Amino acid sequence: MCIRDRLYADHTNPMVQALMEMMYNTDRVLIIIQQNGGNDGLNTIFPLDQYDNLKAARSNMLMPATSILKLTDKTGIHPAMEGVYNLFKDGKAGVVQSVGYPSFNYSHFRATDIWLTGSDADEYLDSGWAGRYLNYEYPNYPVGFPNTTMPDPLAIRVGESVGLGLQMMGVNTVSYTHLSNDEKGRKTVLDIVQPKINERVYPIGRLDRMTTGLLILTNDGELAKTLSHPSSEVRKVYSAVLNKALGLTDLDKIAKGVELEDGKANIDGISYIDGAPKNEIGITLHSGKNRIVRRIFESLGYDVVKLDRVSFAGLTKKDLPRGHFRHLTEKEVTLLKHFGNRKKK
């Protein structure tokens, strides 16, 4: 069904009313900003009515209350988002915060799915509310599009690959670009894996476009959150190919830790690869910082030509061809969960 049928259930909601008005002829454009981060990392939206509780749990990273831009008595926004703050005050922006559901298991993924699909808490949909609306207005898309009536994309997504919110029964109703500025629009690992399995899964951590290797996907939101967080100190092993041979002196510097712009980069081990040229290096570390391996070598004047992750949390990609995936064994799942539980202690 189109979004109109679902929205009537809560037609008194101001945001729902605004969305319904946009179903008719208008030159207005709806922009949805989905924020990364949360109370375990970067705060973007603050629950002011729960600030004291949040401070008790996250005092080491919580922004002082005096620095927060107040939207309402209950909600504030990060001062770096002053532009959104001004739009809110002008009545041109709204905030959707904290989607809860019965038997809450702290999975941000499930909460996000509920918001993107407009589903009830006990149902699972494979279409988003925006995708259903666009399908209602422009049936049969993408067959016959673009055309003289609609020469432009129905929607544009900037950031990750097309999310569930802009899908209609598996059909993307949107053009998208990656934040990595990949003008070729190449597929992500989720685009490859998701159509072949029955459950929606999410990556534990991430690999950039220029890095190959092992990536773990799971439908366990709590496990993904635990193992992805930098504080979990999950051990990862990489094989790096440099643009030139790594000098022994520089290898020793890396082993002892090099200073980067965001602090000292400590590693667990580094060595030349047996039988390989001196520009092929094995490095083990548990840091979760962005592009950490590349930045370590770049700090000493080396470029990383190839980077491959060969191990993550004790799991390896042995006998798994590039571009393929397999299900973890029961033993491997147990080991991952044990690892996650151990990190919580």
pLDDT of 181 > 60? The answer is no
pLDDT, mean over the chain: 77
| Neighbour count for residue 152 (Cβ, 10 Å) | 9
pLDDT of 10 > 50? The answer is no
For 216, counting Cβ atoms within 10 Å of its Cβ (0-12 exposed, 13-18 middle, 19+ buried), the class is buried
243 against 138, higher pLDDT: 243
Element (H, E) at 11: none
Concatenated DSSP letters of 261-310: TTEEE--SEEEEPTTS-TTEEEEEE----TTHHHHHHHTTT--EEEEEEE
> What is the mean pLDDT of the segment spanning 11-34?
63
| Confidence bin at 189 (pLDDT 50/70/90) | confident
Structural contact between residues 93 and 82, judged by C-beta atoms closer than 8 angstroms: no
pLDDT tens-digit series, residues 98-154: 667 777 765 666 777 788 888 887 777 777 888 888 877 777 666 677 778 778 878
pLDDT tens-digit series, residues 254-276: 999 999 877 789 999 999 999 99
> What is the mean pLDDT of the segment spanning 197-214?
77
DSSP one-letter code for 245? P
The single residue of 49, 120, 182, 208 carrying the catalytic annotation is 208
Instruction: Give the CA diameter of the chain.
Output: 70
CA atoms within 13 A on the CB side of 221: 11
Structural contact between residues 240 and 281, judged by C-beta atoms closer than 8 angstroms: yes
Domain 211-344 maps to which CATH number in 1.10.4080.10, 3.40.50.1000, 3.30.2350.10, 3.40.50.970?
A: 3.30.2350.10
125 against 92, higher pLDDT: 92
pLDDT of residue 249: 96
pLDDT of 187 > 80? The answer is no
φ, ψ of residue 175 in degrees (nearest 5): -95, 150
> What is the mean pLDDT of the segment spanning 302-331?
88
Structural contact between residues 134 and 30, judged by C-beta atoms closer than 8 angstroms: no
pLDDT of residue 17: 60
Euclidean distance between the first and the last CA atom of the chain, given in angstroms as a whole number? 46
Say how far apart CA 303 and CA 253 lie, in whole Å.
16
pLDDT of residue 108: 63
The domain limits of the chain are: 3-186, 211-344
User: Among residues of the chain, what percentage have pLDDT more than 70?
Assistant: 73
> What is the mean pLDDT of the segment spanning 13-39?
62
Q: Which long-range contacts (CB under 8 A, 24 or more apart) does 47-56 make?
A: 47/74, 47/75, 47/97, 47/98, 48/72, 48/73, 48/74, 48/75, 48/76, 49/73, 49/74
pLDDT of residue 19: 57
pLDDT of 48 > 60? The answer is yes
316 against 3, higher pLDDT: 316
pLDDT of residue 3: 30
pLDDT of 8 > 60? The answer is no
Top-ranked range on mean pLDDT: pick from 61-75, 161-175, 227-241: 61-75
pLDDT of residue 21: 60
Say how far apart CA 289 and CA 264 lie, in whole Å.
11
Say how far apart CA 175 and CA 157 lie, in whole Å.
6
pLDDT of residue 309: 93
Task: Identify whether 319 is a catalytic site residue.
Answer: no
pLDDT of 285 > 80? The answer is yes
| Confidence bin at 172 (pLDDT 50/70/90) | low
